[in-house]
Amino acid sequence: MHAIRIIEPGGPEVLAWSEVPDPVPGEGEVLVDVAATAVNRADVSQRQGKYPPPPGASEYPGLECSGTIVGSGPGVETTGWAVGDRVCALLTGGGYAERVAVPVGQLLPIPKGMDPVEAAALPEVACTVWSNLVMVGRLRAGETVLIHGGGSGIGTFAIQFARALGARVAVTAGSAEKLERCRELGAEITIDYRNEDFAERMRAEGGADLVLDIMGGSYLGANLRSLTTGGRLVIIGLMGGRTAELDLGRMLVKRLSVQATTLRSRPAAEKAVIVSGVLEQVWPLVEKGDIRPVVDRALPLEDAAEAHRVMESSAHTGKILLTR
């Protein structure tokens, strides 16, 4: 088969469409013929050599895909999945390829009525957003959630999901166009982080019960100032660095909590729990049309380098798909 290999750590030009051996599905895994995959910021970090795949994972980038099951390893017969099923999947890597081996616990059916290619935009954002807003962040109806990077793949999904839960949604983004798109998706409070102090604005709006953060170090202080008493900060990205000073006095007085998580490094059993939660609680919202994947553009898989250039320029809103 062919896959996008990272020849060496570097810029987008190190991504090369190459002939490679077919993956062999192991115990409890199926082989998926990939129709589409999608680009995630983590793929950019992996390409730069800053985010190596966890042990045992495919060396090719790609954390999600859609496609058709074309083979299976031992122990799959009793799982309900079979050759010919159309699926989308959360991956630990290897999505930028013609075929990928996937543990059955990470498979999801294509949501009813959805184009199978478009479905490749869902698994990573659905699992990340559901696990962090619900399992970790305990978001409830009537609460206010601040979502940083509202125009991102993660953000465009998180806005719709939080709204569907009955939360009031605030977002930050770096342009008027992205903020307008966030409003269309259901955000009520929109903040241009280039021109406005988001912590001040959130305090004026009564404070956030939960912050979903992608910046890390550079936003830590302002995130804590944005939270109301009992507020939770959930950090899922480190685009603004990994270290910062933590004001424990503010945490203590306001009874705040800070958690940081990553989906990719979780063991397969934990991923399976998240995937089944998504199937139960998120898929019905997608099938009802309350949540739609926001796809900025689709490029051929061979043009992964161009897709990475777009992502690094932040010109996109929502997801960038790579199709066969």
**Dist CA 151 CA 53 (whole Å):** 26
Distances (CA, A) of 161 to 126, 218, 277: 9, 26, 14
Residue 71's DSSP bridge partners are 31
Return the number of the residue (100 or 182) whose C-beta is nearest ligand NAP: 182
Does position 214 interact with ligand NAP (CB under 6 A)? The reply is: yes
Give the interface segment with ligand NAP, choosing from 94-102, 114-122, 174-182, 226-234 (CB under 6 A).
174-182
Give the interface segment with ligand NAP, choosing from 8-16, 17-25, 143-151, 277-285 (CB under 6 A).
143-151
Q: In which element (H, E) is residue 70 found?
A: strand 64-72
Residue 17's DSSP bridge partners are 4
Return the number of the residue (207 or 318) whose C-beta is nearest ligand NAP: 318
Does position 263 interact with ligand NAP (CB under 6 A)? The reply is: yes
Give the interface segment with ligand NAP, choosing from 15-23, 71-79, 98-106, 232-240 (CB under 6 A).
232-240
Q: Please give the distance of CA 176 from its chain centroid, rounded to a whole number.
A: 23
For tokens 């709204």, the residue is 163
**Dist CA 38 CA 294 (whole Å):** 12
Residues in contact with 107: Cβ distance below 8 Å, sequence separation at least 6, in sequence order: 30, 81, 87, 88, 89, 275
Return the number of the residue (89 or 215) whose C-beta is nearest ligand NAP: 215
Encoded one letter per residue, x for contact with ligand NAP by CB under 6 A and - for no contact, window 11-30 reads --------------------
Does position 48 interact with ligand NAP (CB under 6 A)? The reply is: no
Does position 178 interact with ligand NAP (CB under 6 A)? The reply is: yes
Phi, psi of 156 (to 5 degrees): -65, -30
Alpha helices (runs of H) in 2-92, residue ranges in sequence order: 41-47
Does position 154 interact with ligand NAP (CB under 6 A)? The reply is: yes
Does position 174 interact with ligand NAP (CB under 6 A)? The reply is: yes
Does position 314 interact with ligand NAP (CB under 6 A)? The reply is: yes
Select from 18, 5, 94 the least CA-distant residue to 47.
5
CB 179 to ligand NAP: min, Å = 9
Return the number of the residue (72 or 132) whose C-beta is nearest ligand NAP: 132
Q: Quick one: which of 32, 35, 101, 236 contacts ligand NAP (CB under 6 A)?
A: 236
**Dist CA 37 CA 43 (whole Å):** 12
Does position 42 interact with ligand NAP (CB under 6 A)? The reply is: yes
Q: Quick one: which of 93, 153, 207, 293 contacts ligand NAP (CB under 6 A)?
A: 153
CB 45 to ligand NAP: min, Å = 7
Distances (CA, A) of 251 to 42, 148, 226, 233: 30, 20, 12, 11
Give the residues lining the site for ligand NAP (CB under 6 A). Answer: 40-42, 124, 128, 148-149, 151-154, 172-175, 178, 193, 214-215, 236-237, 239, 261-263, 311, 314
